[in-house]
A and B are shown apart, each in its own frame.
Chain A
């Protein structure tokens, strides 16, 4: 009887599992098997035989692909040439030369393109910008004239030639119109203006290009009577915006905030000097 009152022979069919002798196989034995040792214990002997069978001498079938491999080897290698000679081959030199030329051309293109972009953005230092101005017509604005008056904020366009786009906050029409150069390019904003200003004298002609990459054709000029000399002639309507240019204007100045302004119909018989400095503020209207 067992302790719980069950007879010992109550479950005669229950198989008695033999204890598994796991301790007989150690990691050292397994490592020895992997290392190629075959004199292991009897429990691992079948495994050793399997591993030995995996490492037997190659059969003829396992060597049948030799001809194919050698053919590929011959095709790939061709005439045996030392590595150094291969590297000095003409093809290699040509390839490397072409690569260098292409790389240099690409770098030069990138540099020139970047320089041109910077030049037209007036982002270069003054001497270089001036050179770019002379060479490729990039805008050039002396640093002293880049001051933007406080009242140069764009206003709503008016008049029939008002800009089609809304003025940008960064637009500086006043300054741009004032300093437009003979190339008629203004660096304020993206516009380029061409003016046919004929205002002479101390009246300031003003050409205004339309804002946002447009080209304006200011018709006019007139504007104030700075210094009490001369009046600008013609009548113009300045477009609101920042792209201003006046390739032929002399002594130009105007008030872009007053589109549609009327100028005096009588030109000033005494033109002002070519680079007369206009009055900065107080452009008055000749109405």
Chain B
């Protein structure tokens, strides 16, 4: 998305324009879900929804370009994921052993989605095998499209540490793909 286009969409959304907000949502939500699948597997839908609720609340007061917008979005999502992890640690849930698989909620097109995007799911699974910091850095750089400085601020690390983590993650990813013979 071009910067001018983003700026006009943001202004329109801040003024209450629903189509503009929908376009912003469609542009960012897939990346958000892919990031959340790695750092909060199984809860990505809920966390993304909560993230957007929070974003809508603060949309009028937001100021910044697309980079800042994405940084805000992913920072909010990451905080929600951390909150959820803490909540689960305090109140662990019992597994649903008594519920049959057929009774589990599912979407109608979940199988179709899985087949269509098997390569994306495999890529997310590979990245999930990396250490947490390396996986987050790669996802925020590649999926979210943030630069090194923004990622450093988001993760509260130094830019040098982010670069090192990214390079180590890529080297590790190369080794994993070579060992597993992954073909996407």
Q: Which A residues form the contact surface with B (CB < 8 A)?
A: 25, 27, 30, 33-34, 36, 43-44, 46-47, 49-51, 53-56, 58-66, 68-70, 72-74, 76-83
Contact = CB atoms under 8 A, between A and B. Distances in A.
Nearest to A36: B142
Contact of A54 (B48, B143, B170): B143
Contact of A61 (B22, B53, B57, B110): B110
A34 B142 contact: yes
A72 B52 contact: yes
B142 A27 contact: no
A34 B166 contact: yes
A70 B21 contact: yes
B184 A77 contact: no
A51 B184 CA distance: 10
B113 interface: yes
A59 B120 contact: yes
Contacts of A68: 49, 52
A25 B143 contact: no
B163 to A, nearest CB: 8
Nearest to B182: A46
Secondary structure type dominating chain A contacts: helix
B53 A50 contact: no
B178 interface: yes
Given A30-B171, A59-B120, A69-B29, 9 more contacts: A33-B170, A34-B138, A34-B142, A46-B174, A58-B29, A63-B26, A63-B30, A70-B22, A80-B15
A62 B141 CA distance: 20
Contacts of B141: 34
Contacts of B139: 54
B173 A47 contact: yes
B107 A59 contact: no
A250 B182 CA distance: 109
A30 B174 CA distance: 11
Query: Which 4 residue pairs across A and B have the least CB separation, nearest first?
Result: A80-B16, A58-B30, A46-B177, A53-B123
A81 B170 contact: no
Interface string B140-154: 011100000000000
B16 A65 contact: no
B120 A53 contact: yes
Contacts of B60: 83
B80 interface: no
Given A33-B170, A50-B127, A63-B29, A82 B15 contact: yes
B118 to A, nearest CB: 9
Interface in B99-147: 107, 109-110, 113, 116-117, 119-120, 122-124, 126-127, 138-139, 141-143
Contacts of A59: 30, 113, 116-117, 120
Contacts of B56: 69, 72-73, 76-77
